[in-house]
Structure 1
Amino acid sequence: MSKIMLVLRLTAPEPLELDYALLNKEENASWQSAPWEHVPALLKQSRQIVVLIPSREVLITTVTLKTRNQRQLAQALPFALEEQLMSDPEEQHYAHYSLNSEEGLYQVAIIEHARLQLWLDFLHHNGIVPTAILPDFMALPVTDGYQTAWLGKQGLWVRQTATAGYYTSASTWPLQLNQWLTQGTEEQPIHLRVLEHTPPIPDTPQLVLAYDAIAQTQLLQATDIQSALPLNVMKGFKTQAHSQLANIWQKWQGVAWVGAVTAMIALTLQGLEIRNLQSETDALQVQNIAQFKTLFPQAREIDPDLNFGSLINAEVKKLQLNNTANSSPSALPLLKILAQVLPQQPITLQSINWNQNKLTIRFTSESTAVIPELEKVLSLALKREVNINYQRDANKVVGEFNLIAEPVG
């Protein structure tokens, strides 16, 4: 059976090597180490990529907010959690998960915006498009009713539930143990899973202990990772360059506006599945001719049997001839290149905006996996480096990039 989930455990951006596990659904796998040169081969074997980053970078907490409106919730989280933060609440990214919708109880993962951006930049640079990013305590086994504690030389990792846990230094072990003893009672003891080499723990009614063999720490259970995915820290993350775009299809000024709409028609024609039934093709042709007449009211009578792309190119050339005296930057050269490149990519074009000599393209796609390849293709076609900003939005990816037009003549 082919592997479907690749889990990468990283200690810091730019490590010399990484730990990884390849998981089948509802099975376990051993942790292994590999140099970064092996990453491309690992990526080919996986359909889902989960990246574990150090738990010390992520704060997991709960908050009660009586609202189901996601926009209101996002606005209220920084204020509700301000007292738990060491730095400016506005500099943090908040990913939340509903624990109890009736009571308004939410689990929240908090990470510095700049730090998450650094991780994503590093992964993107290495050709890794993660499905989820989680704190590394979520690699610990999760058992209903039990907390799992992993004490090592580098620190103490504790997983309290499927989506809750924390990291602290190893020296705090006595304090942690004392806290569990204080919280537990004979009627409601604390259930704790620990490694067999953990320092001796007193046998008291306040604690119910279960010991795991050291070898178990080298195994990763698929269900342990899958149960943590609702608290993916990437949820709702916006890149630093993200901004709210204007409404789709804003009217352009002059030749740039006409050229953009023309390019959109060309892209639509090239991207359509022309192998559909002839009746659908005929209906589409009628619609395109109507659009063409709207854009070019001065054009001659249209023969439906003529090549529609040739008609568009002819009208664009007329516009170019009428504006040869204009030395200001033009969007037309860029639009021609985009009309050739974009239809070959698995994206859906949303808007093209021309403002102050800058062309802004916005699109959507099913996966972030298209981003690196699209950047490569655009950079090659335009003979300049193109960087795409993107974010996840519900079940799709929204991408945006800007191009500066060159002066005519």
Structure 2
Amino acid sequence: MSGVSALFLPPASTAGADGELAVWWVQDGECRRAPFAQALAEIRAPWRLYLPVEAVTACAVNLPTQKARWLRQSLPFAVEEQLADDVEQMHLALGPALADGRHRVFAVQRTWLAAWLALAEGVGKAPASLHVDADCLPGEGSCLFWLEERWLLGGSGAVRLACGSEDWPVLRDSCPPPQRAFAAQEVAPLEGVEVQALVGNPHVWLSEQPLGTDLAQAEFAARQQSSQWRRWRPLLGLVGLWLVLQWGFTLVQAWQLQREGDRYAAQSAELYRQLFPEDRKLINLRAQFDQHLADSASSGGEGQLLGLLGQAATVIGGEPTVSVEQLDFSAARGDVALQVRAPGFDVLERLRSRLSESGLAVQLGSASRDGSTVSARLVIGG
């Protein structure tokens, strides 16, 4: 059972939940003793909580049905005669079937268990499972184990209890064979039982045995699931916040791109109206411009002008800070001279480079600064 930490409530815990009560807890194969609150702060999840058998009533009962949906409803009626306390105040956990067909049932005070779990849940350290110490003893027959100055009695039989050495002669005949005991070497052996000496720590040894019934059932199963959700809730909250921020960023980016596209479209439309003032309706800029190019392809100078402008329009439109103040076309030279204005020399140089990269012959004439802007003559073609 390595990799899962374990915390053992002592018999004194039956007095009620107390964060200052000293407990034993096992982690990475080592056993330590500390107040319950300190152990909670240091223990690593997942971890198991072992309840002392003194806080639990274990019995075996015949159940009227084997259908899972009816088993839990029938438990209170099946065990109420075997409980000294009001069954309505008890949390009932159903264990496995025994060899004689009866089922093992565990009963624990609901408020007592809830109080201990509340201390753990208050620091976000709810246990992964709940077990009874005497229910985790191994093997067939009867098994006794010396832990915290008393014998735990378990095994394959119905009995789950704690007793002293003086009680064993009374219990021995009712415990099914074989009868085995585990204890430290210095513990006095039981009458008629061979005690196997333990070399290591008893709490570590018990934490490594096969687990018994998990008492985290019914309303306490829901508490465990809720605690697991609370443990992950901060991380899920961060993921949700990241998704919201990402969604907001995408919306802002889309809005900015839409505005940029609208601005380019407006500049292109303005340039088109300057070139073709007779077109009063602008429905499809690209289609109408292509039509003008097609209509004037064989019309000499005008077709050549439109061809050059068609190549340069996209590049010039991509520089929103550049404005065209004057256009001169020379059919003899086959070029277009543009008087352009920009915020700085670097913008003009970038425009020249982009026109050249698009396959046009470009010459940038002398530029002059006029206040906060720069004016230059740009010759395309020729």
TM-score, length of structure 1 as denominator length: 0.48
Of residues 121, 124, 146, the one that matches 1:124 is 121
Distance of aligned partners of 1:163 and 1:232 in 2 relative to their CA distance in 1, 3 Å threshold:
farther
CA distance in structure 1 between the aligned counterparts of 2:131 and 2:93, rounded to whole angstroms = 11
Distance of aligned partners of 1:90 and 1:39 in 2 relative to their CA distance in 1, 3 Å threshold:
closer
SS in 2 for 1:220: helix
2:60 alignment partner AA:
T
Cα pair 2:131 2:211 within 8 Å, conserved: no
Please state if 1:191 is matched with 2:159: no
Match of 2:146 in 1: 150
Cα pair 1:183 1:190 within 8 Å, conserved: no
Q: Deviations over 1:350-398 (max 9, x none)?
A: xxxxxxxxxxxxxx997632225649999xxxxxxxxxxxxxxxxxxxx
Percent identity between matched residues is 17
1:318-357 pair list within 5 angstroms = none
CA distance in structure 2 between the aligned counterparts of 1:18 and 1:151, rounded to whole angstroms = 13
Q: Deviations over 1:163-197 (max 9, x none)?
A: 962124x3xx32322321x347xxx8542214233
Please state if 1:236 is matched with 2:218: yes
Of residues 22, 28, 31, the one that matches 2:27 is 22
Of residues 210, 213, 229, the one that matches 1:370 is 229
Q: CA deviation at 1:57?
A: 0.9
The structure with the largest helix share of the pair is 2
Distance of aligned partners of 1:19 and 1:238 in 2 relative to their CA distance in 1, 3 Å threshold:
closer
2:168 alignment partner AA:
Q
CA distance in structure 2 between the aligned counterparts of 1:82 and 1:178, rounded to whole angstroms = 26
Q: CA deviation at 1:100?
A: 5.3
Q: Deviations over 1:33-70 (max 9, x none)?
A: 24544644432xx4x32011222111121111141223
1:18 alignment partner AA:
V
Over aligned residues, Cα RMSD in angstroms? 3.7
SS in 2 for 1:227: coil
Distance of aligned partners of 1:376 and 1:164 in 2 relative to their CA distance in 1, 3 Å threshold:
farther
Please state if 1:213 is matched with 2:195: no
Distance of aligned partners of 1:370 and 1:215 in 2 relative to their CA distance in 1, 3 Å threshold:
same
Q: CA deviation at 1:99?
A: 1.7
Larger-gyration structure (1/2): 2
Cα pair 2:63 2:102 within 8 Å, conserved: yes
SS in 1 for 2:59: strand
Q: Which has the higher contact order (CA 8 A, sep 6+)?
A: 1
Cα pair 1:145 1:191 within 8 Å, conserved: yes
Of residues 157, 179, 191, the one that matches 2:171 is 179
Match of 2:288 in 1: none
Q: CA deviation at 1:96?
A: 0.5
1:384-399 pair list within 5 angstroms = none
CA distance in structure 1 between the aligned counterparts of 2:32 and 2:7, rounded to whole angstroms = 10
SS in 2 for 1:77: helix
Q: CA deviation at 1:85?
A: 0.7
Cα pair 2:135 2:155 within 8 Å, conserved: no
SS in 2 for 1:167: strand
SS in 2 for 1:137: helix
1:3-402 pair list within 5 angstroms = 4-11=3-10, 12=13, 13-16=17-20, 17-22=22-27, 29-34=29-34, 36-37=37-38, 39-43=40-44, 46=45, 48-99=46-97, 104-138=101-135, 141-150=137-146, 152-153=148-149, 155-161=150-156, 165-168=160-163, 170=164, 173-180=165-172, 182-183=173-174, 189-195=177-183, 196-202=185-191, 207-213=192-198, 215-220=200-205, 223-224=208-209, 226-228=210-212, 231-237=213-219, 368-371=227-230, 374=233
CA distance in structure 1 between the aligned counterparts of 2:39 and 2:167, rounded to whole angstroms = 41
CA distance in structure 2 between the aligned counterparts of 1:58 and 1:137, rounded to whole angstroms = 10
Q: CA deviation at 1:117?
A: 1.5
Q: CA deviation at 1:218?
A: 4.8
Distance of aligned partners of 1:220 and 1:373 in 2 relative to their CA distance in 1, 3 Å threshold:
same
Cα pair 1:19 1:34 within 8 Å, conserved: yes
1:368 alignment partner AA:
S
CA distance in structure 1 between the aligned counterparts of 2:233 and 2:174, rounded to whole angstroms = 54
Distance of aligned partners of 1:201 and 1:104 in 2 relative to their CA distance in 1, 3 Å threshold:
closer
Cα pair 1:147 1:158 within 8 Å, conserved: yes
Q: CA deviation at 1:88?
A: 0.9
Distance of aligned partners of 1:72 and 1:116 in 2 relative to their CA distance in 1, 3 Å threshold:
same
Cα pair 1:132 1:232 within 8 Å, conserved: yes
